[in-house]
Structure 1
Amino acid sequence: MRLASYTDYTLRVLMYCAQHRERRVTIAELAKSHTLSKNHLMKIVNDLARHGLLETTRGRGGGVRLLLEPSAIGIGAVVRWCESDFRMVECFDENSNTCRLSPACRLKKLFQRALASYLSELDGATLADLVSEDAAQPIGAPTIISLSRRTPAAAVPARG
């Protein structure tokens, strides 16, 4: 399974902003730092601002910065929000599944468990875990953000 570029860039923007909480970060700075297109970054920054994760300021001295504490931004929630398709194999989609093995296949269940473990691992991490200066700090999240393409971000308790 490979993350979409959109997800990768979104995580990079959030990590960069978390590392530079003391100031606004510009799109040009982000683009130069990560060798990414300004146009792609503008779309991502606008999406993150619409969802309440970033504050944007235009004009001289403008830029973007995190609105929330890095410890309140769950990586699993961000990945779920960014990714549009978690179907690892054809049979994950009941409507388009044409696989003849489906009725007796155990592979689908194995992939479902693997995907659940993958997402569970991401749910245990916050943005703070990714930018912490203490590399020995264990990954774990007291609070995560639930993101939806339809509604703004809202804090929800972490899964226990």
Structure 2
Amino acid sequence: MQLSRFTDYSLRVLFYVTLNSNRLATLSEIAQFYDISLEHLRKVVHALGKSGHLETFRGKNGGIRLALAPESINLGTLILLTEGAAPLVDCLRGPCRLVTSCTLQTVLEEARQAFFDTLSKYTLADLLTHKPLRDELIAVESA
């Protein structure tokens, strides 16, 4: 299983705003820091705002900040939100002669569930305990 760019960028935004929580962050500074497309980032931030993970403020002094405590942002829930709950293989979508007898869908669903069960053991705060990562993201302020 490979996570989408949307999920990757969602995590990066949350890392950035969490460790720079003493101020509002801007889309352009995050895009520049990660060297990613401002347009992709705009969609990510909009979705994270709609889901209640971020607070967004428009205008000259606008920006974004985390809307929830990092300890309350569960990775399994977040990644399920950004990736969706689609099966890994959609056996019913195409004509497959084995659809009534094949157990692949069941095995893949079990694996997908194990993936999310593991992610659900962690929060955003858990990911940000690694000092080198914290130092890298906090250093942005002094740059």
TM score, norm. by length of structure 2: 0.81
* Structure with the largest fraction of helix: 2
**What's the CA shift string for 1:108-158, capped at 9, x where partnerless?**
2221111110011111111111112469xxxxxxxxxxxxxxxxxxxxxxx
For 2:37, the equivalent position in structure 1 comes to: 37
- What secondary structure does 2:24 align onto? coil
Structure 1 range deviating more: 12-21 or 78-87: 78-87
Deviation sequence 1:35-80 (CA, Å, 0-9, x none): 1111111121122122221112233332111011001111111111
Q: Does 1:113 align with 2:117?
A: no
Runs (4 or more) in structure 1 with deviation over 3 Å come to: none
**1:82 aligned counterpart, secondary structure:** helix
Q: Name 1:6's counterpart in structure 2.
A: 6
Identity of aligned residues (%): 37
Q: Which moved more, 1:110-119 or 1:45-54?
A: 45-54
Report which stretch shifted further, 100-109 or 68-77. Answer: 100-109
Shift of 1:85: 5.4
Aligned length: 132
Q: Which residue of 2 aligns with 1:20?
A: 20
Amino acid in the other structure paired with 2:105: K
Instruction: Check whether the contact 1:27–1:42 (CA below 8 A) recurs between aligned residues.
Output: yes
SS of residue paired to 1:90:
coil
**Matches of 2:52 and 2:110, distance apart in 1:** 32
Tell me if structure 1 keeps the 8 A contact 2:87–2:109: no
Answer whether contact 1:56 1:65 (CA < 8 A) is retained.
yes
Of 95, 119, 123 in structure 1, the residue corresponding to residue 120 of structure 2 is 123
Aligned residue identity for 1:50: K
Equivalents in 1 of 2:36, 2:85: separation in Å?
23
The one-letter code sitting in structure 2 at the alignment partner of 1:12 is R
Q: Which structure 2 segments of 5+ residues have no match? A: 133-143
Residues 3 and 133 (structure 1), Cα distance of their counterparts in 2 relative to 1, 3 Å cut: closer
TM-score (norm 1): 0.73
Work out which structure has the larger RCO, using CA pairs closer than 8 Å and 6 or more positions apart in sequence: 2
CA RMSD of aligned residues (A): 1.9
Amino acid at match of 2:16: Y
